[in-house]
Structure 1
Amino acid sequence: MARKDTTLSRRRIEGLIADGRSIIIADGMVLKVDAWMKYHPGGDIAIRHMVGRDATDEINALHSPEAKLQMQKYCIGRIEGTWKNFTPPIQYGKFRPHIEECTDLDNEEDQVQSHTSSKTSRTPSPVFDGPASVLLKEDSHESISSASSVSSVSEQDDGMSYFDALTKEQIDLDLAKYPSLDAKIQDNIVRKYRELDQRLRTEGLYDCNYYAYAVEACRYTFLAAASLMFLKWGWHATSGLFLGCLWHQLVFTVHDAGHMGITHNFTVDTTIGILIADFIGGLSVGWWKLNHNVHHVVTNSPEHDPDIEHVPFFAISHRFFESLTSTFYNHVMWFDAFAKFVIPYQAYLYYPILLFGRFNLYRLSWVYLILGQGPKKGPAWWTRWLEIAGQVFFWYWYGYVVIYKTIPTGWGRFAFIMVSNMVTMPLHAQITLSHFSMSTAELGPAESFPQKMLRTSMDIDCPQWLDFFHGGLQFQVIHHLFPRMPRHNLRRTQKLVQEFCADVSIPYALFGFIDGNKDVIGRLGEVAQQAVILAKCQKTIAERGDILHGH
């Protein structure tokens, strides 16, 4: 029997993972991807979050047919029947070494306990570490407000037990709101999601609209010409304004290219992304892809999704008060004295801090390229060197030619730098808007990919003529379900996705731009108030401890 046709038991696969092997399931195949990890263009972290799981939908959503065909080289066998997901090791899942004498049936109960137990970077919680470890809060209009209940917390409490109690109440609300995690119900959701995906492909919604890009190119040309014209006239702040608007618009095309949504060819789309992002914008596409791929598979997970890990400046869940360890950045997100000072005011600081978001992206890009955090071999080996060339080119034309040589005064240089970078703030608001107020819970390995994406993302409703301003980011729900779909087709897809949601009884989160911002500010304000109460409780405990110690 050929190796790829060998049937591997669940117990055997668990043993392979316990031995340190990276095993994922795709279309019934058992893939051992250890040899591929360092070559993966999107980085190894996204793969590590799929270990022990059926990653069929994640793979189909994020990869080309050619890439999926390539994966068959790593097939070591097949599974029998329907796969029940493990919790991946990177998410603190535990696995037992394989012992030949043990049967699957004899160890089924221990098996369930082993993959649902977790090792965390905090004190175990009956909410987050129990069998029903879920935190469901989608609609702020139906959520529990901490403003009304926090005041009842005993001053003798350390605060965290209150948050667990609040979480349990939120669980009760949202377990009634979302479909059951029963395997049959989740399998039905997956089946209908795949049918919808096939329908979208049949209707040509994965085909790029190149005419729309011709229109985009005209817009880009106008913004670039306006920036150069005002620079020549000595209107430096105005020139910076148009340059910032150009960067804001170009990012949307980089996003498409990063998902291979333009030509659907890895090399061509990656080159397009680097030429725009690095050469024109000074940002690393490689860093973004490493970050963004992880975001797409563990959306809104406090310990794993880098897109919501902004401590000490923002915390969208009280779990960040526990100094969680980020599995993406591989360091502890300390809820230290500075965070305790800033977080209570985060609802007021949200927009001002976002004004400086681009400066942080420069830093992250440099760290990624200088340290060589991307793949050094495989199909993406060349990207680092092209990106470094792009960075040199960018800082030559932007830093030397424009800022140093063309602008004569210190004040003019300062105005140009600040305006050109700060005017991109709406982009950072658009990115956070679709996730900050959504669920930050882990329902566990039983939750299907489509349900998780719908539970953790929201769409922003806007008139069609404003689509150019949002650049497809207003359709985050659809984008997370079908990330390789070109953004100019997302609006046409929205109605079909809404019909799918109604069919499988999953709420579709859709807010107007103003209401969406209010929802995010509301979430930030709620967590800020929780931080205040926690600080008050800890202060009271410390004071009473001092008194007792004095006695």
Structure 2
Amino acid sequence: MVSTMADNTKKFITCDELKKHTKPEDLWISIQGKVYNVTDWSKIHPGGDIPLLNLAGQDVTDAFIAFHPGTAWKYLDNYFTGYYLEDFKVSEVSKDYRKLANEFSRSGLFEKKGHGVIYSLCFVSMLLCAVFYCALFCNSFGAHMLSASLLGLAWMQVAYLGHDSGHYQIMKTRGFNKLIQILAGNCLTGISIAWWKWTHNAHHIACNSLDYDPDLQHLPMLAVSSTLFQSIQSQFYGRQLTFDSVSRFFISYQHMTYYPVMCVARVNLYLQTFLLLFSKRKIPDRALNILGILVFWTWFPLLVAFLPNWTERVLYVLVSFAVTSIQHVQFTLNHFAADVYVGPPKGDNWFEKQTSGTIDISCSSYMDWFFGGLQFQLEHHLFPRLPRCHLRNISPLVQELCKKHNLPYVSLSFYEANKYTLKTLRTAAMEARNFTSPVPRNLLWEAVNTHG
């Protein structure tokens, strides 16, 4: 009787009413049917305001569970509006996903990080020692190119460390975790951790949305879907993704230029870092990020300057970039040939969007260090806070869940993933050359059934 009386005193709003609160100055969300006003919180949200704005006016329970530890729940009451969602429903997929996340949490998987960080730090230290020794104390051309190759490999491993520290705390305290982020990202690679967080959080929330996911917005050089030929509005960058004659030319040959573009993609990351850090946008720890970038642009040019001539200096930079391009290829393989869509992410099909927008790379366990755990891309997207050492172990559980709900679980070899990505790019390239051909419904399907 008391419970019934309590229910009668609750205040309810409908999903349609919740959808009216999607502006930065009026931002509401729902978590487990309780409605929260996160307008003020979005300004200081550690993950930035983009994830909250992208999911505004919706129930975001699954996304909240994925990105937040159990300790975050206690802060929600500060933003509770007093309203509950009247037509709140939970799908069977979400029920199973939350149950699995709860099992991982209760077993302590999110806290058990293993010794991977220590191994990675030692490996990177050894690589950097070899890099400086071969470049500074050896006189042969071969030793200098070996130094460049090892530097590219070191950058790859450092990026994985930065990625891990951005998703979960790999150090004992937040202060040390931030320190490793600045060292790994800004000081050692020249790519700002602030830029990475800004784009990467948006990517995870809006995985493979053509207008919300920045990881698919690469005009004029690359396009994974002919929908981009309509010059759609980028909700992330706040500008139009113009498909003009220049874009059409580059896209028409993108399946041929894909690997060369990946070899110099690092230049774009440096440019994006500078554009963000010196923009008017509010940047957390801006001064610290700029200081870290200055460290990189001090030691790296000095290292290159120690080489004996300009030929070796240019080749040194190109070789180091070319080796690192393997990682850029890895990242694109996980999403370029997967399903895409237009529009904001939806809180009620978050799990489904992750499964359709990601592709795993199958490999032997002894290659896990090389892929940094991100070959289990779907597992990582579903449980981004889970340390990489557990991703292989939970993979069968994720496959079982996908099979139960008739959802895609795509796992390809590195060779197959490259082949399908190239076919996807070629499909879009042919569309760029001929506007009369039909728009592909699903690029992975088109690649497999039309071109092979």
User: TM-score when scaled to structure 1?
Assistant: 0.73
Tell me how far apart the structure 2 counterparts of residues 58 and 263 of structure 1 sit (CA, whole Å): 24
Equivalent residues of 1:41, 1:374 under 8 A apart? no
Tell me how far apart the structure 2 counterparts of residues 81 and 276 of structure 1 sit (CA, whole Å): 46
Q: Does 1:215 align with 2:112?
A: no
CA drift of 1:330 comes to 1.2
Residue correspondence of structure 1 range 220-235 to structure 2 within 5 A:
220-231=124-135, 232-234=137-139, 235=143
Q: Does 1:277 align with 2:180?
A: no
Partner of 2:18: 13
Equivalent residues of 1:287, 1:374 under 8 A apart? no
Tell me how far apart the structure 1 counterparts of residues 131 and 23 of structure 2 sit (CA, whole Å): 57
Partner of 2:196: 288
Equivalent residues of 2:186, 2:289 under 8 A apart? yes
Q: Does 1:530 align with 2:431?
A: yes
CA drift of 1:268 comes to 3.5
CA drift of 1:527 comes to 1.1
Equivalent residues of 1:300, 1:440 under 8 A apart? yes
Q: Does 1:43 align with 2:48?
A: yes
Q: Does 1:419 align with 2:327?
A: no
Deviations 1:490-522 (A, max 9, x none): 101101111111222212111111111111111
Q: Secondary structure at the match of 1:519?
A: helix
Residue correspondence of structure 1 range 350-361 to structure 2 within 5 A:
350-361=258-269
CA drift of 1:264 comes to 7.7
Deviations 1:379-424 (A, max 9, x none): xx4x22211111111111112x3123x2242222212222222210
Tell me how far apart the structure 1 counterparts of residues 350 and 336 of structure 2 sit (CA, whole Å): 19
Q: Secondary structure at the match of 2:76?
A: helix
Deviations 1:131-167 (A, max 9, x none): xxxxxxxxxxxxxxxxxxxxxxxxxxxxxxxxxxxxx
- Relative to structure 1, the CA distance from residue 415 to residue 447 in structure 2 (aligned partners, 3 Å threshold; closer, same or farther) is same
Partner of 1:142: none
Which region of structure 1 is more displaced relative to structure 2, 522-531 or 499-508? 499-508
> Structure 1 regions of 5+ residues with no counterpart?
84-182, 376-380, 538-551
Partner of 1:203: 107
Tell me how far apart the structure 2 counterparts of residues 6 and 198 of structure 1 sit (CA, whole Å): 28
Deviations 1:235-272 (A, max 9, x none): 33221111111001111111100102524854432321
> Structure 2 regions of 5+ residues with no counterpart?
1-5, 439-452
Partner of 1:431: 331
CA drift of 1:203 comes to 3.0
Tell me how far apart the structure 1 counterparts of residues 347 and 55 of structure 2 sit (CA, whole Å): 13
* Aligned AA (2:97): Y
Equivalent residues of 2:211, 2:342 under 8 A apart? no
Deviations 1:86-141 (A, max 9, x none): xxxxxxxxxxxxxxxxxxxxxxxxxxxxxxxxxxxxxxxxxxxxxxxxxxxxxxxx
| Of 58, 66, 88, the match for 2:63 | 58
Tell me how far apart the structure 2 counterparts of residues 228 and 15 of structure 1 sit (CA, whole Å): 57
Equivalent residues of 1:346, 1:525 under 8 A apart? yes
CA drift of 1:62 comes to 1.2
Equivalent residues of 1:208, 1:262 under 8 A apart? no
* Aligned AA (1:425): S
Deviations 1:313-341 (A, max 9, x none): 11111101101111111111111111111
CA drift of 1:447 comes to 4.7
- Relative to structure 1, the CA distance from residue 411 to residue 19 in structure 2 (aligned partners, 3 Å threshold; closer, same or farther) is closer
Equivalent residues of 1:244, 1:420 under 8 A apart? yes
- Relative to structure 1, the CA distance from residue 372 to residue 419 in structure 2 (aligned partners, 3 Å threshold; closer, same or farther) is farther
Partner of 2:82: 77
Tell me how far apart the structure 1 counterparts of residues 245 and 134 of structure 2 sit (CA, whole Å): 45
CA drift of 1:49 comes to 0.6
| Of 401, 410, 431, the match for 1:500 | 401
CA drift of 1:451 comes to 1.1
| Of 247, 250, 275, the match for 1:342 | 250
Q: Secondary structure at the match of 2:26?
A: coil
CA drift of 1:209 comes to 3.0
* Aligned AA (1:431): F
* Aligned AA (1:487): R
- Relative to structure 1, the CA distance from residue 258 to residue 498 in structure 2 (aligned partners, 3 Å threshold; closer, same or farther) is same
Deviations 1:37-75 (A, max 9, x none): 221222212210111111111112112334443333222
Tell me how far apart the structure 2 counterparts of residues 202 and 187 of structure 1 sit (CA, whole Å): 22
Tell me how far apart the structure 2 counterparts of residues 68 and 265 of structure 1 sit (CA, whole Å): 20
Equivalent residues of 1:277, 1:285 under 8 A apart? yes
* Aligned AA (1:323): S
- Relative to structure 1, the CA distance from residue 270 to residue 242 in structure 2 (aligned partners, 3 Å threshold; closer, same or farther) is same
- Relative to structure 1, the CA distance from residue 535 to residue 268 in structure 2 (aligned partners, 3 Å threshold; closer, same or farther) is farther
Aligned length: 426
Tell me how far apart the structure 2 counterparts of residues 470 and 244 of structure 1 sit (CA, whole Å): 14
Q: Secondary structure at the match of 2:36?
A: strand
Q: Secondary structure at the match of 1:23?
A: strand
| Of 383, 393, 410, the match for 1:482 | 383
Tell me how far apart the structure 1 counterparts of residues 23 and 134 of structure 2 sit (CA, whole Å): 62
Which region of structure 1 is more displaced relative to structure 2, 56-65 or 485-494? 56-65
Q: Secondary structure at the match of 2:435?
A: helix
- Relative to structure 1, the CA distance from residue 330 to residue 43 in structure 2 (aligned partners, 3 Å threshold; closer, same or farther) is same
User: TM-score when scaled to structure 2?
Assistant: 0.88
* Aligned AA (1:196): L
Q: Which structure has the higher relative contact order (CA within 8 Å, separation 6+)? A: 1
Equivalent residues of 1:453, 1:480 under 8 A apart? yes
Partner of 1:548: none
Equivalent residues of 1:261, 1:485 under 8 A apart? no
CA RMSD of aligned residues (A): 2.4
